[in-house]
A and B are shown apart, each in its own frame.
Chain A
Amino acid sequence: MAHVVYLPLVGFVGGTFGSMVGLGGGVFLIPALSLFLGVPIHQAIAASLVAVVATSTTAAAAYVREDLTNMRLGMTMETMTVTGALVGSLVGAALSKGVLSAIFGGVMIAVSAYMALRPRATALPPIDDEDLGALGASYFDRNLECAVRYRVRRLPLGMVASFIAGNVSGLLGVGGGFLKVPAMVLVMKIPVRAAVSTSSFMIGVTACAGSVVYFARGMVDPVVTVPVVLGVTLGAYIGSRLALRVRSSVLTMLVAAVLFVLSVQMILSAAGISVR
């Protein structure tokens, strides 16, 4: 069993790097807990889901205050993410350790590819029309020093992506932002800053739906979860400030490489090949 001293450290590192590159931290926490600290994967997933609630709540409180979050769009897409998370958590709690590790390893390869190739902040064509639709919004971009207005396109496709993201979140204990943000930017034509903040806003509720199932089933181990949550919250707070001073492109590629190595280790572990 993991030494309790390492748990807040793992949470802190996951929270710091996760917030610096725009992830909830679950993709770091689960392999670190299960591969290196010997925490059973179901408990690691439960601890990660609760930690994701903490990090996304920290981020969402700041983003909402800065007026970057599209709450009407977030609530609309949440109908699909919470439904997906409920289904995913019920299925995840019933799957074997090997199957879960293999699925997680596969999803992590997708996350590392997303980190390496993810959408950059590109300017969308300006919208002059007054009517932004029921879900469109505007915000003031401090970097561009102008108001950015956008309409929401292809909502049904975005809802499908939200259901899949929620499902992955409940099943594997991650936030699912790596699926939602590209869907919002590339498919729904939402500016990156609004997509990232709206995704953070949604992740808290999505992870809540999944973690409530684990909590009510008694699968949240406080001895593992509490140190991780305290570490990850502090890490997320510090990471969000460090992010402004570090070159994000170098860091993102480094994190993508680390995630890729961890994902291979998870798949090897699922096949019964020891990596410790």
Chain B
Amino acid sequence: MTGSGDNVELGGQLGEQQRREARLNVTISRVLAVGLAAAMFLLVVGVILTLGRQGTVIPRKTSIQGMPGALRAFEPGGFFELGLLVLLATPAARVVALCAAYLRRRQWLFSGISLFVLAILILSGYLGLAA
């Protein structure tokens, strides 16, 4: 079959490809929106706790080690740190989501590129901690 039959098949493939791209766009947009909303929620909880407790002292430095204890004690500083951490993790989460999507589609070049970006983000954290 040639001519119009081929065109119909090509059109179908393009249509399917566009639908897959549109689905991926919605997924990535949701990852970003949910991460941002979660971070803002945690930061606002921290602000409310600060305003509700007279004389609360907020630590002036971030400390990942001290965060779980601060959260257990319901201290505003713990919520601030977790909120900031969730905010910083949101772009990284969308890199992970894109990497997973490219792997599922067997797009090895873009899977590798996503993994490289993720590796640099992890290296940033490691070098920051090491310093």
Contact = CB atoms under 8 A, between A and B. Distances in A.
Contacts of B94: 204-205
A269 interface: no
Interface residues of A, number: 51
Find the residue from A57, A69, A85 having the highest chain B CB count within 10 A: A57
A214 interface: yes
Interface stretch (A72-80, A114-122, A148-156): A72-80
B69 interface: no
Given A213-B128, A221-B60, A229 B87 contact: yes
Contacts of B124: 82, 85-86, 89, 208-210, 212-213, 216
A54 B87 contact: yes
A33 B68 CA distance: 30
B117 A78 contact: yes
Contacts of A204: 32, 90-91, 94
A222 B90 contact: no
B8 to A, nearest CB: 15
A62 B109 CA distance: 26
Contacts of A76: 110, 113
Contacts of A226: 43, 46-47, 80, 83-84
Interface in A51-99: 53-54, 56-58, 60-62, 64-65, 67, 69, 71-72, 75-76, 78-79, 82-83, 85-86, 89-90, 93
Contacts of A217: 128-129, 131
Contacts of B127: 86, 90, 213, 216
Interface string A127-169: 0000000100000000000000000000000000000000000
Contacts, number: 156
A75 B131 CA distance: 28
Contact of B131 (A56, A67, A93, A223): A93
Nearest to A64: B29
Interface string B10-52: 0000000000011011101100110110011001101100000
A56 B127 CA distance: 24
Given A75-B114, A226-B46, A229-B84, A53 B91 contact: yes
A60 B116 CA distance: 21
Nearest to A86: B124
Given A211-B88, A222-B84, A61 B33 contact: yes
Interface of B: 21-22, 24-26, 28-29, 32-33, 35-36, 39-40, 43-44, 46-47, 58-64, 77, 80-81, 83-85, 87-88, 90-92, 94-95, 98, 109-110, 113-114, 116-117, 120-121, 123-125, 127-129, 131
Nearest first, the 10 A-B pairs at minimum CB distance are A216-B128, A204-B91, A213-B128, A61-B32, A218-B61, A65-B29, A222-B80, A82-B120, A212-B124, A208-B91
14 contacts: A57-B35, A64-B29, A71-B24, A71-B28, A75-B113, A75-B117, A134-B109, A212-B88, A215-B128, A216-B62, A216-B128, A218-B63, A222-B60, A230-B44
